[in-house]
Amino acid sequence: MARIYPFRAWRYNPSTVRLDEVVTQPYDKISPAMQQAYYQRSPYNLVRIILGLPELFDADGRENVYTRAARDFRAWREAGVLVQEKEPCVLAYAQRFTVPGSTAVKERRGFIALGKLHEYADGVVFRHEQTLSKPKSDRLNLLRATRAHFGQIFMLYSDPAGAVERVLYDGSGPADAEVTDEYGVLHRLWRISDAATINLLTTAMADKKLIIADGHHRYETALNYARESGANGRTRAEHSAQHLPQPASPEAAAMMTFVNMDSEGLVILPTHRVVHSLGGADIDRFDAAEFVVEAEKFFTAEKLAEADAAAYVEKLGAEKGIAFVAVLKGGAFLLRSKSGTGSEAAASLLKGLPERQRNLDLSHLHAILLERVLGLDAEKVREQTNIRYLRDAGEAVEQVRRGEADVAFLTNPVTMEQLKEVAFAGEVMPQKSTDFYPKLLSGLAIYALE
């Protein structure tokens, strides 16, 4: 089952840089504005490695974002900006945060370690979403150039009794490092190098199956790189010397954060869909009234009073069955699955899906509203030709009201139970089904393969 390993992490040197000036959100969550801001914070900000600005290429073309990332990573280690742990360790990692849209404060606890890379067919690591070739190619080029993992793959394991957390956090004491990110999330790390504790942890994890929460592209990239590198890589002598578990080769593992899927600190947020440009350059060509007529072939449509996004989200949250709020120029409608011929018509559009997926709100949204009613085929959805995915319901609603979009679909979040059912069955959900909050910071630890 799951195999985890301690490692000699590279970490930012607190005597050289401030942690809040150099860490970043995961690469795929960095907007152009965030990228620029990270560049301005510090010459050693990790964005320069994980998401470099392409306009900084050499004119002669001898340098690109990947070669420059490798150069910077090497230079920062040589200059002591990054320093390596003297002995293998795991890092207990806690995140304290306010749940968006509420006043509830939660803490999510996990740990950073290496995890063995498994093919999906092994039945140890499970995915819940499809990946795209372009992001994987980008991450593979970066891994080839730098031979290092800079962000953690977010893994979920089941531990209803919380035994793993007790190994890590009982009497943990003051944090070894802490930083508050741009979303107000407090991130704290504790270094654990005690061999007995690490062996307890590896034993506790040995019977676990893992679900990828975030980082599908990086996980498959690491698998591809391991295949490229061959099965017989170099072993790490320092791990063997301390009688601690070690991967068969540096490439056979990747850096991961492991979180208990049964913990109260695990939060999944909805990702709302904003559809735009259906009429091409002329946004007025989209007929909102006609959309409602077509949608009513499959759903009941209750006209809602004009309100803000929070009121719509609250209304939607009270629904028990398949439901969405569709926000149009002419107002908002609560769409609910209906019985009778509408149910039969919906079933015909969902018949190609496994039963557990036919029970997902987002399967109905994609197969019926996006594909059938709005005519967006799978490629347009995958490539985001006419669709934006937003966490902020308020921004989704405002884009319609400002005339920047045709319709916004507000959704309820996927539950952990739904995610487990789909993932452990070897299936995948519609694109952007889950938004685990908060994200794992990049730059807290780095796994160098050499």
In-domain check, residue 427:
no
From the number of C-beta atoms within 10 Å of its C-beta (0-12, 13-18, 19+), residue 368 rates as: buried
Same domain membership, residue 176 and residue 289: no
Same domain membership, residue 236 and residue 90: yes
Q: Give the total number of structural domains in the chain.
A: 2
In-domain check, residue 215:
yes
Same domain membership, residue 319 and residue 228: no
Q: What is the 3-state secondary structure (H, E, C) of the chain?
A: CCCEECECCEEECCCCCCHHHCCECCHHHCCHHHHHHHHHHCCCCCHHHHCCCHHHCCCCCCCCHHHHHHHHHHHHHHCCCEEECCCCEEEEEEEEEECCCCCCEEEEEEEEEEEECCCHHHCCEECCCCCCHHHHHHHHHHHHHHCEECCCEEEEECCCCCHHHHHHHCCCCCCCEEEECCCCCEEEEEEECCHHHHHHHHHHHCCCCEEEEECHHHHHHHHHHHHHHCCCCCCCHHHHHCCCCCCCCHHHEEEEEEEECCCCCCEEECCEEEECCCCCCCHHHCCHHHHHHHHCCCEEEEEECCCCHHHHHHHHHCCCCCEEEEEECCEEEEEEECCCHHHHHHHHHHCCCCHHHHCCHHHHHHHHHHHHHCCCCHHHHHCCCCEEEECCHHHHHHHHHCCCCCEEEECCCCCHHHHHHHHHCCCCCCCCCCEEECCCCECCCEEECC
For residues 258 and 244, give the distance between their C-alpha atoms in angstroms, rounded to a whole number.
19
Cα 298 to its chain centre, rounded Å, is 32
Residue 281: predicted pLDDT? 55
Same domain membership, residue 303 and residue 241: no
Residue 241: predicted pLDDT? 46
Same domain membership, residue 288 and residue 263: no
335 backbone dihedrals φ, ψ, rounded to 5°:
-100, 125
Same domain membership, residue 348 and residue 299: yes
Q: Which CATH number belongs to the domain containing residue 323 in this structure?
A: 3.30.1760
Domain housing 327:
271-412
Whether the upstream peptide bond of residue 438 has omega within 30° of 0, thus cis, is yes
Both tokens assigned to 111: 């740990």
In-domain check, residue 431:
no
Contacts of 25 (CB under 8 A, 6+ apart): 34, 181, 182, 439, 441, 442
Same domain membership, residue 123 and residue 137: yes
For residues 215 and 221, give the distance between their C-alpha atoms in angstroms, rounded to a whole number.
10
In-domain check, residue 78:
yes
For residues 124 and 212, give the distance between their C-alpha atoms in angstroms, rounded to a whole number.
11
Residue type, 173: G
In-domain check, residue 423:
no
Contacts of 52 (CB under 8 A, 6+ apart): 65, 68, 69
Same domain membership, residue 263 and residue 292: no
From the number of C-beta atoms within 10 Å of its C-beta (0-12, 13-18, 19+), residue 398 rates as: middle
Residue type, 176: D
**Beta strand pairing status for 323-328 and 407-410?**
antiparallel
Give which of 172, 184, 266, 153 is closest to 20, Cα–Cα. Answer: 184
In-domain check, residue 216:
yes
Same domain membership, residue 99 and residue 18: yes
Counting every residue written for the chain, the total comes to 450
In-domain check, residue 420:
no
For residues 53 and 64, give the distance between their C-alpha atoms in angstroms, rounded to a whole number.
9
Same domain membership, residue 200 and residue 81: yes
Same domain membership, residue 312 and residue 261: no
Residue 303: predicted pLDDT? 96
In-domain check, residue 417:
no
Place of tokens 């609250």: 314
Same domain membership, residue 82 and residue 157: yes
**Mean pLDDT by 10-residue block, N- to C-terminus, for the chain (450 residues)?**
96 97 96 96 97 72 87 98 97 97 95 97 94 89 97 97 89 88 97 94 96 96 93 45 83 98 96 89 76 94 95 95 94 88 79 88 94 90 88 96 95 95 93 94 97
